[in-house]
Structure 1
Amino acid sequence: MQASFIKTGANRLFDSICLWVLPAGLFLLLSALFLFPDRSHLHKVYYALFSIPTLLALCVRPSEFRLLREPLVALFVVFAGLALISLGWSDSEDSVGSLIKPPLHTFMLFAGMTLLLRYRQEALQPVLLAGALVALLTTLPPLLDFLRHYTPEARLIGSGALDNPLLSSHVFGFFSIYWLVVCMSSKDPRVLALSGCALGLMCLVILATGSRTPLMAMTLAAIWLAVLRQDRRAALLLAALVVAAIVGLLAIPSLLERGSSYRFEIWQAALEQVAQQPWLGHGYDAHLAIDPGQGIVFREPHSFPIGTLYYVGVLGFLPWLGMLLVGIYSGWRYRGQPLFVLASTLLVYGIAAGLTEGGGILPRPKEHWFLLWIPLALIAALNIARRDGRLPTPAMQDLSPAHAGQLQANAVVIEQDGLGPKVLRLVDGSFLKLFRRRAWYTSGRFNPYAARFAHNSQQLATMGFVTPKIIGLYRFADASTAVHYQPLPGQTLRQAMEQSESPEQRQALTLRFGNYLARLHEQGVYFRSLHLGNVLVHEGGFALIDLADMRIMPSALSLNLRQRNLRHMQRYEQDRTWLFEENAAQLLQGYAEQASMKALARIQRSIGAPAGA
């Protein structure tokens, strides 16, 4: 009993972390610099709501360490390991204990992002949008104040903990890329208008910082995005870049001037020191002081690649470079997936910006995380989710009215409501399930129901359940979506019950269904629309219909969710009579074959069956 209690408590802790704590932690990681007055607050909220919860989740469920099989994560572990080994010859004044923490917190970013994508993937896009909106809305007052009191030498910094125009511009560029990707992918005119205005404002903010590095980085990222998409919008984006470059050079000729940053002198001096210990480097967090001859001492080489070479040498540079290459390759290979497009475009932006900024290889959470670590962690998590079958495959395909008409020609309506057809049987026997256009502010915009259907079908298949084969996912010109799939042969369990020739046949069906229901619950499947009309009798087993209305939890369902699941079935008089009155003993017997005694007792009380049933 005690072991069961501990296991249940561990499962509830793991579920809470993955479903609620990590999304909140990621949101604050993205927005804390704008919301709090000091970077220390960013560190605290990241540690409390992301890093430490991720560590707890890994301790509760050590099997999640299989994320180390992902090449990108393995390369990071090698890179961080070499950095820690280099402490043996580093002249850092900080203690070893304090220097071990940043690599661990960075690893927790990879692990936490993986858990989030694996178990609460639908929360990612709303969290990214919320972070982008916070960045936009909190930056508007400083921008208006800057424009109102503008002077030629002034540089916008931003709100909250942002205290440096260059570092601020990197974060602004991160969210500018987000809005650019939304502009390139949105089909809704209202969303397109909103994201276009947001992109324009963020670009204006970057110009107000007076920093040219993010402009160069954004240009390269936009080119990468156009190469990934290769459509009409991509051509328009490239044309817009050319026009913006011409207008910018005519309006601000100083954009081509070198400025007074001393970067060439800093790089030259840093490379001279790299040449002293090229293979092993000077050691993680080694002392670095560069005076370019102007009496100003710089503590960073102002370049991530040069910084990596300085601290960990060629030996450490190779896994660092490997992470970037794997990230870029993943973005190109899976360019059909919108999240891969976003993540790889952010990475290209970060790589380009990091060529002329930064240098600390493993910093605590700050602006530099937006350049490399957040995009890399997102790509690693996406790679793992894809291999686990947790990303919809195939990706959503846009259909023109002509192609949609060809697909649905001579189709038979299987299901419809007052607004029109819902399920069509096409001429080849496959099914097309239609999902109507949703309001732009609802979750259906971030996670279309057609994609949910495909996603749930793939996940159930990986868990050993029978599911229909997904053929395609489509988005129509009116923003409605559809999933195209090969239906499973069989009849619904309600039809099978109605056609049963004897009570014994119903008892046998109920016994098998009780076993199937327990399997669903034990593997964390919460099918909200559970009733006998949505369960298919297929080749001696069962399968589910209407897979969009489902959640798959990280652990076995809680007792409350199991009880709530049965309440839905009890609303149907015929189902209630067959399952919970005439054949309750068989239902409980089948359920007991898969579930614990505690879960069985709760189900027993839920259906009002006697203790000996």
Structure 2
Amino acid sequence: MKEPNVEATREHPFRLQSGLPKWGYAWLLLGMWWLLVGLAAAPVGDKVWNPGKPYHDSLLVLFIAPALFWVWKRRGAFRERVVGSADAWLLMLFLAWSALSSAWANYGHFGDNLFVAVYVLLFVVTWAAVVAGNSQWFQQLLFWGGVGLALSALGAVAMFPWRTLHTMMWQEQGRVVAFGALDNPNLAGFAYGAAIVWLAQTTVRGRWQHVIQVLALVMLSIFVVMTYSRATWLAILAAQACMLITARHGHVKLRALAILGLAALAIGLGGWHYVEQRGMSYRPQIFERAWELIRAHPWHGLGMGSHYEIRVDDQIWTHSHNAFTHNAIMLGIPAAVLWVVMWLIVGWRGWLFRHVATGRCLLALWVFATVAFQFDAPELMQKPSVEWLMGWLPLAISMGLAWRVRDSQQHHQNEVDA
């Protein structure tokens, strides 16, 4: 199959300079960076998966305000691309149904859920526009986001033995955690694992950036190993194996081979015994109970924001530890199928664009998230969280690559017609 042409055009309608002043796009990029790094740096709330009000309030200023201004100012250009994008229509249909399902939910309010749906849409189209308009900026954004998370991982490892807020149980188990929304070993493993995946695919220039990239990957890898999150380990191995097989650049294959080699060494030195000792962690039983909930409300689900419990023996969980079954429980089978279709489009587009850095990043993140979603991190319809890194970021990259090809083709056609 012919590879899509993603060469930059001389005048691109989605360049940030054309829609925002210099201080405006710097402000927006800072907000996008903080959306990634703030998960681990913002003050923690009263629950381990809640990064706290300061983080979300800061995003209103740093991300939502400049993003809304940009989308409104260039509303014609955004409207044209959204209307002409099949996956954008699928996303809007999914979000509309999610918000509507609040009408029969057993918890939550329509206004709050509508805000989350709009938030997701704004996030996806804004990040897609950055991918479409300037892939180098997007690569730098991911690079420095990964570096920021690596620094937070370094601080978390150094301070872990002396922390007491939400870490006593994890200290007893020897499982390291980070800060903010990542004050949980599984969520922290997913976030830092995603950073490993995208950082390993990011193309950087200059000796110092290469050194920083290697050091960041080492620090993130140490942290992820110390979380003892088996789902994260498996997801990283699957993503790197995919890159080893599909990547066309030697340095990408070399990084993937190095990570896989270190993983094999860790498994040989005792990692496999740890995985075997912990067993399946009730996942088959949880999956069975989840299907009972799905069969009870197959068409419309419980409704967005609903609360439910899964009980196995004396264990109780408030979600199904699987993004696919959780969507079906909350929104019904039709909406879950709709989301799967969107997700498959993302994976297919990552495969088509695997010959460029952004496409490789998309494919690797898609493989990582697909594996991780089988074990945890199910809640996609909420304010920015770890799930955003794994669910909505790949969709935004996918949509941005599609917009970039379309704009390039239109620009080429205009040159021919002229």
Q: TM (normalized to structure 1)?
A: 0.57
Summarize the Cα distance change of 1:277–1:203 in structure 2 as closer, same or farther, 3 Å threshold: same
Query: Residue 23 of structure 1 contacts residue 116 of structure 1 at CA under 8 Å; is this kept in 2?
Result: no
User: What's the counterpart of residue 106 of structure 2?
Assistant: 91
User: What's the counterpart of residue 244 of structure 1?
Assistant: 263
Say whether 1:370 aligns with 2:396: no
User: What's the counterpart of residue 230 of structure 2?
Assistant: 212
TM alignment of 1:234-273, pairs within 5 A = 236=254, 237-238=256-257, 241=260, 244-245=263-264, 247-252=266-271, 253-259=273-279, 261-273=281-293
TM alignment of 1:69-468, pairs within 5 A = 69-92=84-107, 94-146=108-160, 153-182=173-202, 191-230=209-248, 232=250, 236=254, 237-238=256-257, 241=260, 244-245=263-264, 247-252=266-271, 253-259=273-279, 261-294=281-314, 296-389=315-408
Q: What SS does structure 2 have at the residue aligned with 1:365?
A: coil
1:48 to 45, 48, 61: 61
Q: Aligned-pair distance for 1:313?
A: 1.8
Query: Which letter does structure 1 place at the counterpart of 2:192?
Result: F
User: Equivalents in 2 of 1:275, 1:161: separation in Å?
Assistant: 32
2:32 to 10, 23, 26: 26
Query: Which letter does structure 2 place at the counterpart of 1:124?
Result: F
Aligned residues: 385
Summarize the Cα distance change of 1:48–1:83 in structure 2 as closer, same or farther, 3 Å threshold: same
1:450-480: CA deviations, max 9, x gaps?
Answer: xxxxxxxx96x577599xxxxxxxxxxxxxx
User: Equivalents in 1 of 2:17, 2:191: separation in Å?
Assistant: 35
Q: Aligned-pair distance for 1:164?
A: 1.2
Query: Which letter does structure 2 place at the counterpart of 1:153?
Result: Q
Q: What SS does structure 2 have at the residue aligned with 1:217?
A: helix
User: What's the counterpart of residue 37 of structure 1?
Assistant: 43
Q: Aligned-pair distance for 1:359?
A: 2.5
Summarize the Cα distance change of 1:176–1:101 in structure 2 as closer, same or farther, 3 Å threshold: same
**Higher Rg of the two aligned structures:** 1
Summarize the Cα distance change of 1:161–1:306 in structure 2 as closer, same or farther, 3 Å threshold: closer
User: What's the counterpart of residue 13 of structure 2?
Assistant: none
Q: What SS does structure 1 have at the residue aligned with 2:173?
A: coil
Q: Select the structure with the greater relative contact order (CA < 8 A; seq sep ≥ 6).
A: 2
Q: Aligned-pair distance for 1:351?
A: 1.7
User: Equivalents in 2 of 1:32, 1:234: separation in Å?
Assistant: 28
Q: Aligned-pair distance for 1:210?
A: 1.7
1:384-407: CA deviations, max 9, x gaps?
Answer: 1222129xxxxxxxxxxxxxxxxx
User: What's the counterpart of residue 60 of structure 1?
Assistant: 73
Query: Which letter does structure 1 place at the counterpart of 2:398?
Result: I
Gaps of 5+ in 1: 1-10, 391-457, 467-540, 542-613
1:334-357: CA deviations, max 9, x gaps?
Answer: 212211111221122112111110
User: What's the counterpart of residue 396 of structure 1?
Assistant: none
Q: What SS does structure 2 have at the residue aligned with 1:297?
A: strand
1:144-185: CA deviations, max 9, x gaps?
Answer: 345899977221111345321111111110111123224xx5
Summarize the Cα distance change of 1:318–1:189 in structure 2 as closer, same or farther, 3 Å threshold: same
1:203-255: CA deviations, max 9, x gaps?
Answer: 11011112111100001111222232156556653586266335414323112
Summarize the Cα distance change of 1:344–1:42 in structure 2 as closer, same or farther, 3 Å threshold: farther
1:562-600: CA deviations, max 9, x gaps?
Answer: xxxxxxxxxxxxxxxxxxxxxxxxxxxxxxxxxxxxxxx
Query: Which letter does structure 2 place at the counterpart of 1:136?
Result: A
User: Equivalents in 1 of 2:278, 2:292: separation in Å?
Assistant: 22
User: Equivalents in 2 of 1:375, 1:132: separation in Å?
Assistant: 16
Q: Aligned-pair distance for 1:122?
A: 3.7
Query: Residue 343 of structure 1 contacts residue 379 of structure 1 at CA under 8 Å; is this kept in 2?
Result: yes
Q: What SS does structure 2 have at the residue aligned with 1:291?
A: strand
1:79-107: CA deviations, max 9, x gaps?
Answer: 11222232333222x22111111111000
Deviates more, 1:22-31 or 1:243-252: 243-252
User: Equivalents in 2 of 1:57, 1:189: separation in Å?
Assistant: 35
User: Equivalents in 1 of 2:258, 2:191: separation in Å?
Assistant: 25
Summarize the Cα distance change of 1:145–1:20 in structure 2 as closer, same or farther, 3 Å threshold: closer
Query: Residue 150 of structure 2 contacts residue 217 of structure 2 at CA under 8 Å; is this kept in 1?
Result: no
Summarize the Cα distance change of 1:361–1:367 in structure 2 as closer, same or farther, 3 Å threshold: closer
Query: Residue 72 of structure 1 contacts residue 323 of structure 1 at CA under 8 Å; is this kept in 2?
Result: yes
Summarize the Cα distance change of 1:300–1:201 in structure 2 as closer, same or farther, 3 Å threshold: same
Query: Residue 240 of structure 2 contacts residue 259 of structure 2 at CA under 8 Å; is this kept in 1?
Result: no
User: Equivalents in 1 of 2:70, 2:171: separation in Å?
Assistant: 51
Query: Residue 303 of structure 1 contacts residue 357 of structure 1 at CA under 8 Å; is this kept in 2?
Result: yes
Query: Which letter does structure 2 place at the counterpart of 1:177?
Result: V
Identity %: 21
User: What's the counterpart of residue 6 of structure 2?
Assistant: none
Query: Residue 304 of structure 1 contacts residue 358 of structure 1 at CA under 8 Å; is this kept in 2?
Result: yes
